[in-house]
Amino acid sequence: MSPIAWSSDGRTKPETPLAPPERPAEAIAERMALFTPEQPRRRLADLVLSAETERALRVALAQIQHHTLLYQTWGLAEIHPEGRGIALNLYGESGTGKSFAAEAIAHHLGKPIIRVDYAQLESRYVGDTPKNIVAAFAAARAHDAVLFFDEADSVLSHRVTNITQAADYGVNISRSTLLLQLDLFEGVVIFATNLARNYDPAVVRRILAHVPFTLPDQAALVRLWRYHLPHKLPRSAEATPEALAALSAGLSGGDILNCVLLAASEAAMRGAEQVTLADFAAAIEQVRRAKAEIGR
């Protein structure tokens, strides 16, 4: 029978159900199977970043690559005994390359990557989400994989202080479980978010490096257009990366990918032999309008 919670007006209300009993050995194996490793395809050389972001990312990678030097030879373990593993936070607007970077970091380290999203962790049963978190870390250990939490604000947000139901209590338990797992983990964990301000302060303190991902400047836009324009894509002579960059200030790398897809689709629908600058301009305008009018 589900537990009973009392609302502020004295009435009873339905509570989040408790998880059914399970066999521990079989349960952990089943949960670990939810988190499968992938071989990364992206490379650091493919990343297009601002100078600030690139430097911050390189410094973060230095601690991973020189961990023995820093913590053993130079004695940082004496002042930071919990620093057996490395946690990085990639934050910034959507489409600026955070997920791309996580995969590229795994590739650079020669490790597979395990992607975790909130849907894999969340359960309607009280007590199940913390078990899924433990299983995610266990899977990363088993496969020597980089553990990547996308949309990490879902699991790293502020603690609930005004607890009114078991679900609120479960949020706090899940967060505490994740923090404990971070302290125990000896591998690499990467968080990515568009909403870094929602992080709990206790989480911020446990993350080594917070790397900002900003919208590309003009030079970066040119590089992004060059990267996203396939060699086989027929386009008019005036549709150069430089011309397209001049039209797309304020767009992200993800936006530019969508612009290429939209422009190519427009040309194909028209039966044209090539994608024109006008096709790209129309696609850019469509993406701008969507960003302005939808999801705000």
On whether the CB atoms of residues 235 and 275 are closer than 8 A, the answer is yes
pLDDT at 82: 65
C-alpha 58/C-alpha 106 separation (Å) is: 14
> Is residue 241 assigned to a domain?
yes
Quote the domain boundaries for residue 87. 21-213
Same domain, 133 and 233: no
Domain count, the chain: 2
Same domain, 118 and 176: yes
Give the residue from 221, 283, 207 showing the smallest Cα distance to 251.
221
C-alpha 166/C-alpha 43 separation (Å) is: 43
Same domain, 180 and 108: yes
C-alpha 63/C-alpha 82 separation (Å) is: 14
Walking along the chain (296 residues) 10 residues at a time, the average pLDDT comes out as 42 47 63 91 91 89 84 83 81 92 95 90 72 93 96 72 50 83 91 88 85 92 96 96 97 96 96 96 96 80
CATH assignment of the domain containing 231: 1.10.8.60
> Is residue 15 assigned to a domain?
no
> Is residue 296 assigned to a domain?
no
Same domain, 253 and 115: no
186 phi and psi, to 5 degrees? Answer: -105, 10
pLDDT at 118: 80
Same domain, 182 and 237: no
The token duo for 172 is 């706090």
> Is residue 153 assigned to a domain?
yes
pLDDT at 253: 94
**Can you say whether the dihedral through the CA atoms of 247, 252, 257, 263 is positive or negative?**
negative
CATH assignment of the domain containing 126: 3.40.50.300
pLDDT at 29: 77
Q: Helix, strand or coil for residue 7?
A: coil
pLDDT at 162: 46
pLDDT at 73: 87
C-alpha 166/C-alpha 257 separation (Å) is: 43
C-alpha 33/C-alpha 274 separation (Å) is: 46
pLDDT at 161: 44
Same domain, 249 and 278: yes
> Is residue 9 assigned to a domain?
no
pLDDT at 16: 46
pLDDT at 6: 39
3-state percent helix, strand, coil for the chain, nearest multiple of 5 = 50, 15, 35
Q: Which of 163, 188, 213 is the last residue of a domain?
A: 213
